Amino acid sequence: MPKQKRNLLTRFLIWRIKYISQTQFVYLIAIVVGFLSGVGAVILKNLTHFIQHMLEGNLIQYYHTAFYFVFPILGLTLVYFIIKYVIRKKVSHGIPSTLFAISKKKGFIKRYQMFGSILTAPITVGFGGSVGLEGPTVATGAALSSNLSRVLHLNQANRTLLIGCAAAGAMASIFKAPIAALIFAIEVFSLDLTLISMLPLLLASISGILTSYFFFGNDILLPFKNTDAFYLSDVPFYMILGLAAGFTSVYFTKVYAYFQMIFEKINSPAKRLLAGGVGLGILVYFIPPLYGEGFDVINNLVKGNPEIALQNNIFNLDLTSIWVVIALLAGLVFFKIIASALTFGAGGVGGIFAPVLFMGSIMGNVVAKILNNCGLFPNGVSESNFTLVGMTGLMAGVLYAPLTAIFLIAEVTGGYELFIPLMITAAISFSITKYFIPHSVYAMELGRKGELITHDKDHAVLTLMDIRSVIERDFISIYPQMNLGEIVHQAVVKSKRNLFPVLDKDTNALEGIILLDDLRPVMFDQNLYEELKAKELMHSPPNIINLEEDKMTDVMKKFQDTGAWNLPVISHGRYYGFVSKSKLLTAYRRKLIDFSGK
């Protein structure tokens, strides 16, 4: 049967080559990928909402609020056992894992990732994990597109493009915002903005949103309609909102990174589960709006009903006092990222897109309430507009996706009346965060390692290259105590190279190098064969490449700075080989052609 399947696939691929061009085929696959990503979004959303409705709507509402403490721990425990005993491999559930697959795995993603998030993310979020479904949805779509590309024998450039198509299809399906979804794929995955990439992304986005309409009808995750007008006099207030969004974005990123570092130091998964689960359970018990994604809270804020989101506060505070409401909302902004970080630290599967929207909307609402109730501005500002624009500010700052943020809110509000405040807030927030933090939450780990794909094509191509592929090892080594005669007869005569590494005989450490040009003045004088030693002829190399530490960008810079044609490579303190500039440039040119898909 497998052989028959292979024959069918082979016949199909041969037929495709004969009758369908590569470009047309990519367009067709982009539509399929968009559909699959949309279906993945539907499955994840329905499973999550079913679990959340059964638990929060029935048990907590009709029995006891203590379940707010129990359910997150129970959900994270179930996820732990599913990963350990069912999947048996680490589930890469977020956009950072997809970026890593693009930059270091040539776009190849393991098959089990196609269902890993579907089995674990709904349980994490449905049981109260304070994270979102967008990251797992994108990761699921990316895994589907990667494995489909592998079956259809598509090259790395098309494989990467189709992963971007999966992201566009997933986001379009979730938010019913096809233009924002397309821009999201370009911004976050650093795809080339060309006609070749634009059309497949657009087709995938359309396919994803049509899938969403087919399953969900006109239901929208963020059903907003902008009713309050924008006035020129509001510009200073939106600048204040941009400042608040920028510093909130810095807080979000710093706290997320801090908790990630703490949990990485805990070696035992069971201890991470216990620490994160108990911490999350306590937070959700005392602050119920932190349960799950939190889109209900966002919708209530936009409608001007914050008391509905805050009515379950454990302290039964008086919600008729506006300053009590402001304090409680500010507390949600402060604790949401902590709850999200604890969810991830405990082993939960989810994404940060929803927490960003949650915090951004509340932050914007809080800023508007303060401006309206401080007594300094009699005309006041629109709280619903600030709630919407606040989401844009935090998306621009945390995700480093200002264009996605602008178009997403513009699309979900059904118009572009807020375009100017969206741009002002996004620009200020992005600028502030970029000043303090070089990389987004999605890319911070890859950015620190120099493995991040960016819109800089030279840097992107170098990142995709494997340093081991350009190392040459056919050099004859010599030792410091070897005399000139031994060098000539044992190295020069036998070698096809004009370069010789000088190594310590015991440790194999690199002592220096000898060039054929260094030997020419003396190698024909046999009177010197016994007198001259290698240690007298050798000299230090212009620079050294460290196999474990240097990235391809570092290697290229060392060649540029030194002007050398060959540089030695060491691994764990020992000589490993050489990299030649000619081979490096040849490999770079080939990778550039492959990357560009030309």
User: pLDDT per residue over 232-255, tens digit each?
Assistant: 889 999 999 999 999 999 999 999
Ranges of H-type helices in 287-401: 295-302, 306-310, 322-345, 353-373, 383-398
In this structure, the answer to whether residues 479 and 568 fall within a common structural domain is yes
pLDDT value at 52 more than 50: yes
Q: Identify the DSSP state of 379.
A: T
DSSP codes joined into one string, 476-533: --B-TT-BHHHHIIIIITT-S-SEEEEE-TTT--EEEEEEHHHHTTTTT-GGGTTT-B
Residue 223, domain member (yes or no): no
In this structure, the answer to whether residues 446 and 465 fall within a common structural domain is no
Cα angle, residue 346 at apex, residues 344 and 352 outer, rounded to 5°: 10
pLDDT digits (tens, 9 = 90+) for 365-401: 999 999 999 878 878 898 889 999 999 999 999 988 8
Between 402 and 188, the more confident residue is 402
Token digits of residue 334: 């402060």
Last residue of a domain, one of 216, 249, 275: 216
Q: Which residues on neighbouring strands pair with residue 580, listed in sequence order?
A: 566
The rounded distance, in Å, linking the Cα atoms of 1 and 12 is: 16
The rounded distance, in Å, linking the Cα atoms of 12 and 5 is: 10
pLDDT reported for residue 454: 47
CATH number of the domain that residue 36 is part of: 1.10.3080.10
In this structure, the answer to whether residues 331 and 212 fall within a common structural domain is no
pLDDT reported for residue 197: 75
Last residue of a domain, one of 450, 483, 499: 450
In this structure, the answer to whether residues 444 and 562 fall within a common structural domain is no
Q: Based on the structure, what is the number of domains in the chain?
A: 3
The rounded distance, in Å, linking the Cα atoms of 597 and 137 is: 27
pLDDT reported for residue 497: 86
Residue 191, domain member (yes or no): yes
pLDDT reported for residue 455: 46
In this structure, the answer to whether residues 469 and 443 fall within a common structural domain is no
Q: Which residues on neighbouring strands pair with residue 567, listed in sequence order?
A: 579
Which amino acid appears at position 431 of this protein? S
Start-to-end C-alpha separation, the chain: 37
Taking the CA of residue 260 as centre, how many other CA atoms within 13 Å lie in the half-sphere pointing to its CB? 12
Q: Identify the DSSP state of 305.
A: -
Q: The dihedral of CA 559, 562, 566, 570: what is its sign?
A: negative
Are 404 and 175 a contacting pair, CB within 8 Å?
no
The mean pLDDT of 566-588, rounded to a whole number, is 88
Dihedral pair phi/psi, residue 564, rounded to 5°: -75, 155
Q: Identify the DSSP state of 574.
A: E
Residue 226, domain member (yes or no): no
Reduced to 3 states (helix: H, G, I; strand: E, B; else coil), residue 5 is helix
Categorize the per-residue pLDDT at 339 as very low, low, confident or very high, splitting at 50, 70 and 90.
Answer: very high
pLDDT reported for residue 596: 55
Token digits of residue 403: 């264009």
Categorize the per-residue pLDDT at 415 as very low, low, confident or very high, splitting at 50, 70 and 90.
Answer: low
The rounded distance, in Å, linking the Cα atoms of 282 and 285 is: 5
**CB-neighbour burial class of residue 518 (10 A; exposed 0-12, middle 13-18, buried 19+):** middle
Reduced to 3 states (helix: H, G, I; strand: E, B; else coil), residue 539 is strand
Residue 5, domain member (yes or no): no
pLDDT value at 524 more than 70: yes
In this structure, the answer to whether residues 239 and 190 fall within a common structural domain is no
Between 283 and 531, the more confident residue is 283
Which amino acid appears at position 298 of this protein? I
pLDDT reported for residue 63: 56
In this structure, the answer to whether residues 387 and 278 fall within a common structural domain is yes
- pTM of the full structure: 0.77
The mean pLDDT of 333-360, rounded to a whole number, is 93
Residue 438, domain member (yes or no): yes
Q: Which residues on neighbouring strands pair with residue 132, listed in sequence order?
A: 351
pLDDT value at 447 more than 70: no
pLDDT value at 91 more than 90: no
% residues pLDDT > 70 (the chain): 89
Q: Identify the DSSP state of 229.
A: P
pLDDT digits (tens, 9 = 90+) for 264-276: 899 899 999 999 9
The mean pLDDT of 320-336, rounded to a whole number, is 90
In this structure, the answer to whether residues 255 and 395 fall within a common structural domain is yes
pLDDT reported for residue 451: 47
Q: Which residues on neighbouring strands pair with residue 578, listed in sequence order?
A: 472, 568
CATH number of the domain that residue 569 is part of: 3.10.580.10
% residues pLDDT > 90 (the chain): 43
Last residue of a domain, one of 216, 241, 261: 216
In this structure, the answer to whether residues 498 and 570 fall within a common structural domain is yes
Token digits of residue 522: 């003396």
Between 93 and 406, the more confident residue is 406
Categorize the per-residue pLDDT at 570 as very low, low, confident or very high, splitting at 50, 70 and 90.
Answer: very high
In this structure, the answer to whether residues 291 and 424 fall within a common structural domain is yes
Residue 73, domain member (yes or no): yes
Q: Which domain holds residue 208?
A: 10-216
The mean pLDDT of 561-584, rounded to a whole number, is 89
Q: Identify the DSSP state of 224.
A: -
Residue 222, domain member (yes or no): no
CA nearest to 276, candidates 354, 349, 341: 341
Between 292 and 592, the more confident residue is 292
Beta-strand pair 545-546/566-571: parallel
pLDDT reported for residue 503: 94
pLDDT value at 494 more than 80: yes
pLDDT value at 1 more than 50: no
Site of tokens 């599913």: 82
pLDDT reported for residue 321: 85
pLDDT reported for residue 581: 85
In this structure, the answer to whether residues 296 and 168 fall within a common structural domain is no
Beta-strand pair 574-580/471-472: antiparallel
Query: What is the torsion angle, in degrees rounded to the nearest 10, for the CA atoms of residue 145, residue 150, residue 156 and residue 161?
Result: -20
Question: Where would I find the beta strands (DSSP E) of 367-426?
Answer: none
Residue 83, domain member (yes or no): yes
Q: What Rg do the C-alpha atoms of the chain give, in angstroms?
A: 29
Buried b / exposed e along 410-443 (16+ C-beta atoms within 10 A): bbbbeeebbeebbbbbbbbbbebbbeebebbbbb
How many CB atoms sit inside 10 A of residue 583's CB?
15
pLDDT value at 68 more than 60: yes
**Containing H/E element for 570?**
strand 566-571
pLDDT digits (tens, 9 = 90+) for 141-200: 999 999 999 888 888 788 888 999 999 999 999 988 899 999 998 888 766 666 677 899
In this structure, the answer to whether residues 162 and 240 fall within a common structural domain is no
